[in-house]
């Protein structure tokens, strides 16, 4: 069980191992002491605190599944999910930086990378290099493979030309997984994934988006103009990039589910404290049954979403089919994050509508959960297709 205590915390879950509990508690302590004091400032400035990222590496949060021989933590995908959840309770913007690093970039490299690529890229990814995942374009969102970014082979190099949009970690990353097509008429069969380093000639990080939420997380465009990438940097096989994208995004959706669960829990934590301090009609508003019922509903919804996320992550680690569980986890968690954060603002009253209280930011942050790494409609379609099959 994970009953919520009156101070907004939860006792260790019995379904976590001792190692997982220790890691979870360490991340929670770090988020509270190091991230929380920076949240409002980073949100206002729309940038990550430069001193924070090295600390994420030092704590081992940026290479969770990387083997120890490469400098990583050599832990499980489930551990990555726990980390994302805990960070999201304090700041979902920091959490998504860690999430993309682990559930997308490192996962893709672990599954599809050659031994030489792992030897080359895993050590810096564990120690100091932020990664990014560059699939989306202006005309390819939910239709992920409608790519126009071109890849043409020239001897032992590939030449990339095109533009990418909505790239998380774009401003901080030094390694990008870039998807491009060898032949637009070939559809998904023309897609290839490339490992592109930020200092590659012809590669430029463009405009940073001014966003509604997760504002400290950079979201940028990428510009590739005759960007030459060695053939050794093809991730997987040429023409098989669609497999890299599909399988990685299925895993990434679990990470976003964890982000939304953590966000909702953070909003509820703040609200549990507030309703015991705020008095109306001579007593704390938490004493009113109407308020208590709303708290109970939110706690139940969050726990249901958490268990969906944990189940999907456990299935992934066990090598079982997790496509539908991942879609359900992402779908339900993103919905709950919006409804919970909205209700928490209601319970804060006028104060909740101001930036004086953190629930306002979490409400803004929640919206992205229904959009990135597969919209709500795409999750519904995935679930329905497999049910009907």
CA torsion sign for 272, 26, 47, 370 is negative
What distance separates the 2 farthest-apart alpha carbons in the chain? Answer: 79
Count the Cβ atoms, other than its own, within 10 Å of residue 376. 14
12 sits in the region (left: phi over 0; alpha: psi -120 to 50; else beta) called beta
For residue 33, what is the enclosing H or E element?
Answer: none
- Catalytic residue, chosen from 20, 85, 137, 373, is 373
Q: Decide if 373 is catalytic.
A: yes
On whether the CB atoms of residues 305 and 333 are closer than 8 A, the answer is yes
Count the Cβ atoms, other than its own, within 10 Å of residue 338. 18
On whether the CB atoms of residues 16 and 71 are closer than 8 A, the answer is no
By DSSP bridging, strand 283-284 and strand 203-208 are unpaired
Q: Report the alpha-carbon distance of residue 212 to residue 77 in Å, rounded.
A: 29
Query: Which neighbouring-strand residues pair with 175?
Result: 131, 197
Count the Cβ atoms, other than its own, within 10 Å of residue 346. 13
DSSP 5: P
Q: Report the alpha-carbon distance of residue 343 to residue 183 in Å, rounded.
A: 48
* 134 phi, psi to nearest 5 deg: -115, 90
Catalytic positions, please? 373
């Amino acid at each position: 069980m994970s009953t919520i205590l009156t101070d907004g915390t939860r006792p260790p879950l019995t379904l976590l191992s001792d190692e997982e509990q220790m890691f979870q508690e360490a991340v929670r302590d770090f988020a509270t002491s190091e991230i929380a004091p920076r949240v409002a400032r980073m949100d206002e400035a729309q940038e990550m605190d430069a001193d924070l990222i090295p600390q994420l590496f030092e704590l081992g949060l940026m290479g969770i599944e990387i083997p120890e021989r490469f400098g990583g933590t050599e832990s499980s995908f489930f551990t990555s999910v726990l980390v994302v959840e805990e960070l999201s309770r304090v700041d979902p913007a920091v959490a998504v930086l860690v999430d993309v690093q682990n559930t997308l970039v490192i996962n893709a490299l672990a599954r599809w990378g050659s031994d030489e690529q792992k030897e080359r890229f895993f050590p810096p990814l564990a120690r100091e290099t932020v990664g990014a995942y560059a699939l989306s374009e202006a005309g390819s969102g939910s239709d992920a493979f409608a790519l126009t970014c071109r890849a043409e082979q020239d001897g032992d190099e590939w030449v990339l030309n095109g533009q990418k949009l909505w790239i998380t970690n774009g401003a901080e990353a030094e390694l990008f997984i870039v998807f491009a097509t060898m032949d637009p008429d070939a559809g998904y069969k023309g897609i290839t994934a490339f490992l592109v380093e930020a200092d590659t000639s012809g590669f430029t990080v463009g405009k940073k988006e001014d966003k509604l939420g997760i504002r400290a997380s950079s979201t940028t465009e990428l510009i590739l103009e005759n960007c030459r990438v060695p053939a050794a940097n093809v991730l997987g096989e040429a023409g098989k990039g669609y497999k890299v994208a599909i399988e990685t995004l299925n895993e990434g959706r679990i990470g976003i589910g964890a982000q939304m669960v953590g966000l909702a829990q953070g909003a509820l934590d703040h609200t549990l404290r507030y309703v015991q301090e705020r008095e109306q009609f001579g007593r704390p508003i938490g004493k009113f049954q109407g308020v208590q019922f709303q708290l109970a509903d939110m706690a139940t919804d969050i726990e249901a979403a958490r268990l969906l996320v944990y189940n999907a992550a456990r299935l992934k680690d066990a090598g079982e089919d997790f496509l539908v569980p991942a879609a359900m986890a992402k779908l339900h968690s993103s919905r709950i994050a919006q409804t919970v954060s909205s209700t928490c603002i209601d319970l804060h009253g006028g104060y909740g509508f101001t930036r004086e209280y953190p629930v306002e930011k979490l409400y803004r942050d929640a919206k992205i959960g229904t959009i990135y790494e597969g919209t709500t409609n795409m999750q519904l379609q995935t679930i329905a297709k497999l049910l009907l099959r």
